Structure 1
Amino acid sequence: MDIKKLVACDTVLGEGPLWDIPEQRLYWIDSLGNKIFRATEDGNEVKVWDVPQNIGAMALRDKGGALLSLADGFYTFDFETGEATVLEKVQHKSATVRLNDGKVDKHGRYVCGSLETTETKPDALLYSVGTDLSVRQIDDNITVSNGPCWSPDGSIFYFADSRAKMIYAYDYDLETGAVSNKRDFHAFGPEDGLPDGATVDAEGCVWSAGVYKGKIHRIAPDGARLLTIDMPTLCVASVMFGGANLDRLYVPTMRTPPVPDVDETHPDAGSLFVIDGLGIRGVPENRFGG
């Protein structure tokens, strides 16, 4: 296994890695720096776009451009013009809530949660954006939404509330996008970090970034911990398999933690890292169908 810095992008809060197979490009974001990045598999040809608000996540669209989770709602984005256009603003429970992490299911829906930025109140919600561009709430009572992803067959939806230190599993109806039977899937201990961004590999295992402790965890479908990787920086925010063979694990990091009790001092904090030699492949990410 080889861990190396790939792009010295100096993100305030690097998040949301997305490997797009048609383009053979990696996208990632700076949530608090209000930027979208794109690069080749090896970290070359880096391009950067500014967005008008804090950005929680993005999904590429079948029709071109992207769907963005900005602080106050869902927006479409044109990479040619750099213009973000509001699709629907959401009614947050309080002024300290913004949209956060999101991904696309096998039928092209976008599922995204919000977060309460003081990380103290369960005021965040979980939303589903349909291919007809309708937005509906599918869960509530969340503090910090993170790590949405699905089992390879799409029947199980995984989702973390970082401050609860828990990854949950739901039964997922691919026909309707409904979630049910929410249950505890994997709890994080004191040295594991908080569950942040996540992905699923081809064997159905969940990979979750243990933010603030510099960990990446691989968790079996039955909830058992299989592997923990120690990263160079404390603030590892998310993970995504990519590259031509979907066997490289990309890891964006934070330069400035958004919490007062973490002191990130590593000189490469904020860089994009890649892990090679795992011998494991990911699954293709879907594009938003709306």
Structure 2
Amino acid sequence: MKANAELFLETKCVLGEGPCWDERRNVLLWVDILKNKLYMYDFFTKKVAFTVLPECVTSVVCHPFGDYVITMGRGFYFFNSDTGVLRPIQHLESHLPNNRFNDGKCDPLGRYWAGTMDQNGAKFAGSLYVLDKDLQTHKMLENVSISNGLAWSPDGAIMYYIDTLTNEIVSFKSNFETGLISDKRTVIHIDKEDGCPDGMTIDQEGMLWISHWGGGKVTRWNPDTGDLLQTVNVPAPYVTSCTFGGKRLDELYITTACVDLTEEEVHTYPLSGSVFRIKTTVKGLPSHKFIAARKRMKK
């Protein structure tokens, strides 16, 4: 089954990424990594605003005791969107000055997973980390090239993960008691002619929605069978990520990039860097929030 996404916001992001739905405020957030911008679209006021941060901001999640938590540069930070105040949590990989964080998301336990990558394209230089409720970080995977999409099955028992350069989506068993992952296996392979897998999300039926960098689309897959179920065409070649939003979580919001486009490609795909949307027949899952211990929040 094929469908077409419609333009939602023409933002001209150089590297739009990391969409996150905040149901408390009825707000869609996303980032422009290369412009250090954190965007917010308020569905009540119908206005879009952005904050320019000191370094590249790469992902954002909500938390119930305050505002937001972000990955910026090589660190985790609390961010107050009303005041613009940043509070550092952890800074990692100081020995790898070319590295930065990339995609990140919270798991059902309220822990913030985020991975790193080398900005010059060196392979296997990145790692996948998790920030726990005590604000401590743990390295979960290493030898990662471009850490990207994350998603958890509806029951939380399986974590799905993308290292873009592998062109694969892999799964891990997720242990609620220990917080560890195990039993890695490949569940989906993306043909190179369809681009590379980037960000992803999951719906209530446990199907994965995968963004295709260089493929101009989002695809829906059954991770149990490896079957392709649906294709959503996007009028931009560099599709970066997607998330479900709206009051009923039945709208898929899609971020794109215009980085590295030739003059001819810019003319052909003038909406590159915009946010797109499509109404879906299946609902998504609410975004998991970061849950930090209150005593840690007060520090």
For normalisation by structure 2, the TM-score amounts to: 0.91
The number of residues matched between the two structures is 287
**Is 1:211 the counterpart of 2:213 in the alignment?**
yes
CA distance in 2, matches of 1:192, 1:43: 38
The correspondence of residues 120-269 of structure 1 with structure 2, limited to 5 A, is: 120-222=122-224, 223-257=226-260, 264-265=266-267, 266-269=269-272
Change (3 A) 1:43 1:213: farther
Change (3 A) 1:168 1:123: same
The code of the aligned residue for 1:4 comes to E
Q: Which residue of 2 aligns with 1:32?
A: 34
Q: Which residue of 1 aligns with 2:84?
A: 82
Q: Pairwise CA RMSD of aligned residues?
A: 1.9
Shift of 1:125: 0.3
Change (3 A) 1:93 1:199: farther
Shift of 1:42: 8.7
CA distance in 1, matches of 2:119, 2:251: 31
Q: Which residue of 2 aligns with 1:285?
A: 287
Answer 1 or 2: which has greater helix percent.
2
Residue 9 of structure 1, aligned match among 5, 11, 18: 11
CA distance in 2, matches of 1:100, 1:174: 25
CA distance in 1, matches of 2:144, 2:94: 12
Q: Which runs of 5+ in 2 are unaligned?
A: 293-299
- CA deviations 1:60-100 (Å, max 9, x no partner) are 12111211111121111111221222111102563321111
Residue 102 of structure 2, aligned match among 100, 103, 116: 100
CA distance in 2, matches of 1:256, 1:158: 27
- CA deviations 1:111-130 (Å, max 9, x no partner) are 11111223331010000100
Residue 67 of structure 1, aligned match among 66, 69, 72: 69
Structure 1 moving runs of 4+ over 6 Å: none
CA distance in 2, matches of 1:103, 1:86: 18
Query: How much identity, in percent, do the aligned residues show?
Result: 33
The code of the aligned residue for 2:192 comes to P
Q: Which residue of 1 aligns with 2:113?
A: 111
For normalisation by structure 1, the TM-score amounts to: 0.94
Shift of 1:176: 2.7
Secondary structure, counterpart of 1:237 in structure 2:
strand
Contact 2:208–2:223, Cα closer than 8 Å, also in 1: yes
Residue 55 of structure 1, aligned match among 47, 57, 73: 57
Contact 1:171–1:182, Cα closer than 8 Å, also in 2: yes
CA distance in 2, matches of 1:55, 1:114: 12
Shift of 1:38: 1.1
Change (3 A) 1:228 1:42: farther
Change (3 A) 1:44 1:192: same
CA distance in 2, matches of 1:176, 1:264: 48
